[in-house]
Structure formats: structure tokens, C-alpha cells
């Protein structure tokens, strides 16, 4: 398949590297407005580079990864869709619900496949947690914290980090948000850098997210409480532990560690994306999935403002 990458920041370079390592995939071009980023991509990967999106889209392209800043997802995405090219847009789908809806509706009108890059769905630890939970789930708690990333300028911690967890909660619980509450604060810049989000899902599961850019170390942890077990996962090390229900009879519980083969989620994601296109299947993470997260953002900011 002939693919292209638009945006050569941190995530765009990861997409580019993975595409170049895939069999039966040809990177026909990459685009970025930054001259140095284009030069690095050309030197490292030997790909054709473009400073203008329209010039890139004149090529014969089967699929595109959109890795530009969130504020540009709408305009860049619509341009690609108008050309009839299938695309994966990095999370979040867009800045707001209206822009996200524009993208989803335009893709449907043009019969273009649109996938959203909610990468944690491809984390082996998240996949194992989803396998382990049952119908007796009580709550899910997520911690996603770290230092302030200077590369993120157009959104705050809720839309950058929180996007992962809102989608993860929907994915693991298999339910939609019934109630959403949040508080946030801004201490390092114009956008919020700390947020506490609490939710109740339609199936009764309770959820809590603690996320910030003021912690000096990076942490990504998920805990799920069920009536029959307790599951904890470290999403960075991809380690998962399953605790049996606590026994009041002998005041004990057992612990099982689930070994996982470490995998790079982006490679699995892109393989899934291209595989679905080749086989004519629905996108694994649809535009509608991305839209549900944007709708959750809207409810969160209404509550937290």
C-alpha cells in the first residue's frame, strides 16, 4: 500500500518509522512545514518530502496518517477526505464536537475510511485488562501523570492525556458515560495542567481519572475493581497483576502476574489500520469512537469551567 505521513513531530516520526519497517508498504511522501523536520526525514528514511499539503496529495496515495497539532486536524482532515483518501487521525479527533462531526460526516459522504489513533487500545496491558474483567466490574481508576511537555501548545492536559483515558474507560467497560464531573486547574500556562475526572457509566461502573503535567515522573496506571477480583496494570512496563477476592475467612488473597510479550502499540495500530483497508472491514477505532470522546470533553469543560 502507498502511504503518507502529514506532520513530522514526535508522533509523526513514530508513524513514519513504523511504516518504513512494514512489508508491502511504500511511504510515497511526508509533509511538514518545518524545513529541518523534512530534512531529517529525508536523510533518515530516504522519503520524498513536501512543504505543501496539496502538492503531497497529488501523489497516488492509498492511506494517510495525520499527525499534525490537534488544532489542524479539522482543516487537514477535510482536505484529505475531499481527495477520497482513507486516513488515520491521531487522537483527539478534533478540537471540539462540531469539528469532529464535520470530519465524520464528510468521511461518510465520500465513502472514506476514517480511523482515530486512540493508541492505548493497542497496549497489550490494556488488552489483557479488558480480557480479565467480567460482568461484575465495580470501578476503574486511572492515573496518567508526568512533567509538562513543551511540544504541546494548542491543548491542555484533558484533551492531550485525558483523551486516552476517556476512550479506555469506554473500551474496557463497554458502556457510555451516564454522568461526568470534573475539576481542573492551570498553573504552568494558558491551558489546564491538572484535572480530576469522575464518571458513572450507563452500566453502573464508576470511573476516576487523575491526570496532570506537574508530576516530575511519568506514570500510567490502571486499576479495575470487580466483585470477584482486582486487576492492576502498568501501561508503561506492560505489567498486569490479578488479585483474587479478599477472603474474610483466612484474611488472605492470591496474586497472579500475567506475563506479556512487550509490543510497540503504534506498529500494531498501523497494521490493524492498513489490514482493515486491505480487507474492506470497518475501522477498528471509528470516527464515531473519536466523537464520543469529544462529547465527553464538552461535558467535562461545562462542569469544570
| Mean pLDDT of all residues in 178-205 | 94
> Which residue in this structure is represented by grid cell 511522501?
29
pLDDT for 249: 67
Task: Indicate the pLDDT class of residue 247, thresholds 50, 70 and 90.
Answer: low
pLDDT of res. 251: 65
> Does the pLDDT of residue 248 top 70, yes or no?
no
Kindly report the length of the chain: 305
**CATH architecture of structural domain 2-117:** 3-Layer(aba) Sandwich (3.40)
- Answer for the pair 6, 31: CB distance below 8 angstroms, yes or no: yes
Q: What does the alpha-carbon distance between residue 181 and residue 233 come to, in Å, rounded to a whole number?
A: 24
The fold for domain 120-266+295-304 equals Dihydrodipicolinate Reductase; domain 2 (3.30.360)
pLDDT per residue as tens digits for the range 91-119:
999 999 999 999 999 999 999 999 999 99
pTM confidence score: 0.92
pLDDT of residue 268: 96
Contact 29, 43 (CB under 8 A): no
> For residues 51, 89, 98 and 156, what is the CA-based torsion angle, rounded to 10 degrees?
-90
List pLDDT tens digits, range 1-47: 999 999 999 999 999 999 999 999 999 999 999 999 999 999 999 99
For 112-151, what is each residue's pLDDT tens digit? Answer: 999 999 999 999 999 999 999 989 999 999 999 999 887 7
Q: Burial, 211: exposed, middle or buried (Cβ in 10 Å; 0-12, 13-18, 19+)?
A: buried
CA dihedral 229, 234, 239, 245 (to 10 degrees): -10
Does residue 250 register a pLDDT over 70?
no
Per-domain boundaries in the chain: 2-117, 120-266+295-304
CB atoms within 10 A of CB 225: 18
Amino acid at each position: 500500500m502507498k502511504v503518507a505521513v502529514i506532520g513530522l513531530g514526535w508522533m509523526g516520526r513514530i508513524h513514519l518509522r513504523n511504516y518504513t519497517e512494514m512489508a508491502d508498504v511504500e511511504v510515497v511522501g511526508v509533509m511538514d512545514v518545518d524545513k529541518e523536520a523534512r530534512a531529517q526525514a529525508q536523510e533518515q528514511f530516504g522519503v520524498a518530502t513536501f512543504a505543501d499539503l496539496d502538492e503531497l496529495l497529488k501523489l497516488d496515495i492509498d492511506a494517510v496518517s495525520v499527525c499534525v497539532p490537534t488544532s489542524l486536524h479539522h482543516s487537514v482532515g477535510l482536505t484529505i477526505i475531499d481527495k477520497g483518501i482513507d486516513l488515520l487521525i491521531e487522537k483527539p479527533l478534533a478540537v471540539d464536537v462540531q469539528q469532529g462531526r464535520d470530519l465524520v460526516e464528510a468521511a461518510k459522504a465520500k465513502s472514506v475510511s476514517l480511523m482515530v489513533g486512540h493508541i492505548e487500545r493497542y497496549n497489550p496491558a490494556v488488552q489483557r485488562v479488558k480480557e480479565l474483567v467480567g460482568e461484575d466490574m465495580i470501578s476503574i481508576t486511572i492515573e496518567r501523570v508526568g512533567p509538562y511537555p513543551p511540544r504541546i501548545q494548542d491543548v491542555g492536559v484533558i484533551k492531550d492525556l485525558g483523551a486516552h483515558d476517556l476512550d479506555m474507560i469506554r473500551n474496557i467497560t463497554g458502556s457510555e458515560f451516564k454522568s461526568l464531573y470534573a475539576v481542573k486547574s492551570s498553573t504552568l500556562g494558558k491551558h489546564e495542567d491538572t484535572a480530576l475526572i469522575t464518571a458513572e457509566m450507563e452500566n453502573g461502573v464508576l470511573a476516576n481519572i487523575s491526570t496532570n503535567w506537574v508530576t516530575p515522573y511519568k506514570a500510567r496506571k490502571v486499576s479495575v475493581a470487580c466483585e470477584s477480583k482486582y486487576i492492576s496494570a502498568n501501561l508503561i512496563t506492560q505489567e498486569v497483576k490479578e488479585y483474587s477476592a479478599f477472603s474474610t475467612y483466612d484474611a488472605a488473597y492470591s496474586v497472579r502476574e500475567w506475563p506479556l510479550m512487550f509490543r510497540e502499540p503504534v506498529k500494531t495500530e498501523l497494521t490493524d489500520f492498513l489490514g482493515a483497508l486491505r480487507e474492506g472491514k470497518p475501522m477498528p477505532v471509528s470516527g464515531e469512537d473519536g466523537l464520543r470522546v469529544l462529547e465527553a470533553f464538552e461535558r467535562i469543560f461545562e462542569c469544570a469551567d
